[in-house]
């Protein structure tokens, strides 16, 4: 972005990245998602699951006269968590986009307030298709894996957005852009464990993506074509991101957080949770971006429980 507004420059000085578009683009965001579904590029199961409110954004009642939408990217590492199991210490990763959602939003909001000083503008958290908004605003570019990339930190970031009464003199709305190397690179295609990324189609087959499949609870069995070797994160998937040239500098960026002893690990694998114990371990899981009702079946595969 050339001639950046002062608030965007101030964000960058404090380690965050941002852009702004007119709030008048909400219908365009919605129509773009709908067109992908109509054209068969967005699987029906994905569209139904996320159609409202992410795919049908509306101005919030608390700021119905919003002038702009501000999108912020906060750099974020993977979380490496340790589980003790049958005498082994097993370290697993949680991708950057799962942990610290509230902290990221809190930080972005506070950084924006400081960046706008001495002016004071309203900021109302947006529920929006963040990746599409980030690319349409020029804040990020799409990779072939349909993940957003920002300068320096690649895909190791978390997005958050706000409606605001800030009337920006610049509307950064633009056509979507992909990373330049994606046209010639096939690293993520080769790395994808479920073949969700295809050479002749830029939009991935999200219904085959391991991230989509392992975000379901234990009542949903993994499809037979998903082998145990496909699993590499306790939730989500990092294969395409860690193989991507644009993530070369951050591919091993993680922080250690969370240790679960043998008893806690065994409890998680039982998949029967209730009472005070469940509440206690849920708080511990939340600190690393995990939910008690979702991930234990993934943990079971990673630990190779069925083979021990």
pLDDT (tens digit per residue) in 158-186: 999 999 999 999 999 999 999 999 999 99
Residue 296 within a domain = yes
Range of the domain at 15: 6-307
Please tell me the total count of domains within the chain: 1
pLDDT at residue 306 in the model? 38
pTM for the predicted model, two decimal places: 0.91
Q: What element of type H or E holds 298?
A: helix 296-303
Give me 166's structure tokens: 């800030």
Whether pLDDT at 307 is above 90: no
E strands present in the chain: 17-22, 68-75, 78-85, 88-94, 123-125, 141-142, 148-149, 157-164, 254-260
Q: Is the dihedral of CA 162, 168, 170, 174 positive or negative?
A: positive
Residue 85 within a domain = yes
Residue 217 within a domain = yes
Lowest-pLDDT range of 121-125, 223-227, 244-248:
223-227
pLDDT one-digit tens code per residue, 186-225: 999 999 999 999 998 888 998 999 999 998 887 888 999 9
Q: 160 near 125, Cβ under 8 Å?
A: yes
Average pLDDT over the chain reads 91
Residue 249 within a domain = yes
Tokens 């993520």, residue located? 188
pLDDT at residue 146 in the model? 93
Residue 1 within a domain = no
């Amino acid at each position: 972005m050339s001639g950046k507004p002062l608030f965007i420059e101030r964000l960058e000085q404090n380690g965050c990245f941002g852009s702004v578009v007119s709030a008048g683009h909400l219908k365009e965001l919605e129509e773009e998602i709908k067109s992908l579904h109509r054209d068969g590029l967005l699987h029906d199961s994905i569209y139904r699951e996320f159609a409202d409110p992410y795919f049908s954004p509306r101005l919030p009642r608390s700021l119905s006269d919003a002038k702009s939408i501000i999108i912020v990217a906060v750099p974020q590492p993977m979380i490496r968590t340790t589980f003790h199991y049958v005498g082994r210490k097993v370290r697993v990763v949680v991708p950057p986009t799962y942990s610290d959602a509230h902290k990221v939003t809190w930080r972005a909001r506070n950084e924006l307030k400081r960046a706008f000083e001495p002016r004071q503008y309203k900021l109302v958290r947006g529920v929006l298709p963040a990746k599409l908004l980030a690319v349409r605003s020029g804040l990020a570019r799409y990779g072939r894996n349909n993940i957003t990339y920002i300068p320096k930190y690649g895909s190791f970031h978390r997005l958050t957005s706000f409606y605001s009464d800030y009337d920006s003199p610049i509307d950064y709305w633009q056509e979507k852009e992909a990373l330049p190397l994606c046209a010639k690179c096939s690293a993520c295609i080769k790395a994808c464990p479920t073949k969700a990324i295809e050479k002749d189609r830029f939009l991935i087959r999200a219904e085959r993506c391991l991230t989509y499949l392992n975000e379901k609870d234990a009542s949903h069995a993994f499809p037979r074509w998903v082998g145990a070797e496909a699993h590499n994160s306790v939730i989500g998937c990092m294969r395409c991101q860690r193989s991507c040239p644009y993530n070369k500098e951050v591919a091993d960026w993680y922080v250690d957080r969370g240790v679960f002893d043998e008893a806690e690990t065994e409890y998680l694998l039982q998949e029967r949770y209730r009472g005070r114990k469940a509440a206690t371990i849920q708080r511990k899981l939340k600190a690393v971006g995990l939910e008690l009702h979702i991930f234990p079946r993934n943990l079971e595969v990673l630990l190779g429980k069925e083979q021990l």
